[in-house]
Every structure is written in structure tokens, then in C-alpha cells.
Amino acid sequence: MSSIFNSFISGQDTVRNLILRSARDLFAQYGYRKTTMEDIAVALRKGKSSLYYYFKNKEEIFQAVIELESEILENRLWEVVKSEYPPKQKFNDYVIIRMETLRELKNFQRAMRDESYRSYLFLDEIREKSEVSEKQMLKTILEEGVSAGQFDIKNLRLAAIGISTALRGLELPLLRGIDNFDDFRLQLDNILNILFYGILKR
């Protein structure tokens, strides 16, 4: 579960990295509220003073973890958007990589969707930035598809908003209900067929 996260933050401050890695795994396993600074320190085999040197409190660690997971997702999706593949392939890859990455980013996924996290104001900024970025990425792919004659879309902005909204709505049932990866991919294929039906030029 930690492979994407670990590779993304490698090369930065080692002790801070270790704190974020340990905290991330504990938050994902036990939840933010049940995880304590003591738990993180024990996992690190260090005193709590080591944590407080880098972070004021547990919420600040949580914020750093969520911001990093958000950045990981956005960077992976921009790689798809900027690739040399045809628009139809980009759209396909975008949906698959988005959902597959979210499966690994459990803290980000939970923080963005769980109503019990609404009191953490920094999440509103991350959520808004994520949604704006996604609409722009989808609009870019759709524009390329229309220009290439692959997609038939009258209003690109509304189409991007609609697809973004549909993907967010499908996250919870898809990510919660399926543990087997083959079943997960089968459901992704079904989702792609539905989404493609509305935009492909026929």
C-alpha cells in the first residue's frame, strides 16, 4: 500500500519522511481519531519529541499526509493527460488510474468523502483544488477528443463537470464493495462503457 507514497516522498528530509510514512499507515489502518502521537512515536521507535520537532500536533501530520496523497493522485493523472496517447485511450487510462490510485490512497479517499471530517477546514481547500484540477484535466482530454473527431460533445465544460461528478459518485460503492482486483477491473470496464456511450462519436 505504501509503494506509491514512499517513492513520491523519497529524497526529502529522512526523519520527516519516516513520520509521514508511519502516520499514514496508522491512519489508514486505525483511522485518524484512534491514532495517537504516542502510536506514531512507538511505530517510529522514537520519542514523541522527535514528532514535535517537525509537527505541532497530530492534525498537522494528518494534513501533511492528505496533501501528499492529493498531490500523488493529481501528478499521476496529469501524466495521463500529457501523454502522447490518443484521446480515447487517455480517457480510458484516466478513469482506470484514478480509481486504482484512490484504492491505495485510503486516507485521502476517506477524508474527502467522510462527513465526520467536515470540521477540518484545510480539507475544504484540498477538496476544492482537487475538483477544479480534475475538471480541467477532463476538459483537456475531451477537447483533444473533439478535435480528433473521436468525441461528440456540444459543451465541453458541462461534459467535464458531469463526468467528474459521476466519477466521484461512483468512488464509494466501487472502492468499498470490491476487494478482488479482477472484479474491480471488471466494474471499471463497465463504468467506462457507460461513460464512453455518452461521448463517443457514432
Average pLDDT over residues 53-69: 95
The CA-based angle 129-133-135, given to 5 degrees, is 120
Q: Which domain holds residue 77?
A: 58-199
C-alpha cell at 32: 485518524
Q: Which pLDDT value is given to residue 130?
A: 95
More confident residue, 49 or 118: 49
Q: Which long-range contacts (CB under 8 A, 24 or more apart) does 189-196 make?
A: 191/95, 192/91, 192/92, 192/95, 192/96, 195/91, 195/95, 195/163, 195/166, 196/88, 196/91
- CB-based contact 27:107 (threshold 8 Å): yes
More confident residue, 92 or 172: 92
Identify whether 105 is part of a domain: yes
Q: Residue 1: pLDDT band by 50, 70, 90 thresholds?
A: very low
pLDDT tens for 16-34 read: 889 999 999 999 999 999 9
CATH number, position 195: 1.10.357.10
More confident residue, 117 or 53: 53
151 beta partners: 200
How many domains does the chain fold into?
Answer: 1
- CB-based contact 65:23 (threshold 8 Å): yes
Average pLDDT over residues 32-37: 95
Q: Which pLDDT value is given to residue 132?
A: 96
Average pLDDT over residues 23-47: 94
Identify whether 160 is part of a domain: yes
In the chain, % of residues over pLDDT 90: 59
Residue 13 has pLDDT above 90, yes or no: no
Identify whether 14 is part of a domain: no
Identify whether 22 is part of a domain: no
pLDDT tens for 162-196 read: 999 988 887 877 667 666 667 777 777 777 777 77
- CB-based contact 133:74 (threshold 8 Å): yes
